[in-house]
Amino acid sequence: MTSNLPNNTTNTFRLSPLIRITLLTLYIALTVPLPFLAEVTKAPTPPILLWVGIVIGFVVLYAVLTERVTVNDQEIKVSYPVWVPSFFRKGWSLSWSDIKSLKPRSTGQGGLVYYFLSHDGKAYLLPMRVAGFNRLVNFVQAKTGIDTTDVRPLSQPWMYMILFLCTILLLLVDAWTINTAILGNW
């Protein structure tokens, strides 16, 4: 297979910052009011336990969002930083010559995801939420010869912008809720 890419090129694609910031902010907006509400309502779960759970959940979510895709002349590889345990999020790598095809599969919400099918019958999910997705797809096409002209990202940036704006509104409601809980006007 010939490639119009320079030899020995290695590119790393990380999760889109818009997606990462939106999901982390949404997590904060959904969880931070809970300890305050637990204290005000005298819930049986102590607020400190909720804080511990929130911090653990944040670290787990952040770990998931550190996924990176590396492509070079030999392979495509999905990996995580060394601090993310492999039993939690296991990466994968696939040699370009092992890729047989790229198959679409519909999601429960009506979208399309794509899987690399290897010659030994295994399927590997094409990461679709990375920054520079079009460059990644062009790299895949150049290295495998598979036509990727119809491959589109799972969700468009404007969807995450709307979710981010709704999250900001939720944070404003959270601030009011926390303020009300602290001042005892409940």
What pLDDT sits at residue 173?
96
pLDDT tens digits, residue range 118-170?
999 999 999 999 999 999 999 999 999 999 988 988 778 889 999 999 999 99
Burial classification of residue 112, based on how many CB atoms lie within 10 Å of its CB (0-12 exposed, 13-18 middle, 19 or more buried): middle
pTM: 0.83
- β-strand partners of 123: 117
C-alpha dist (Å) from residue 34 to 16, 47, 89, 142: 28, 8, 28, 49
Of 112, 103, 102, give the one whose Cα is nearest residue 155. 112
Q: Which parts of the chain register pLDDT below 50? A: 1-3
What pLDDT sits at residue 28?
97
What pLDDT sits at residue 160?
93
- β-strand partners of 69: 13, 78
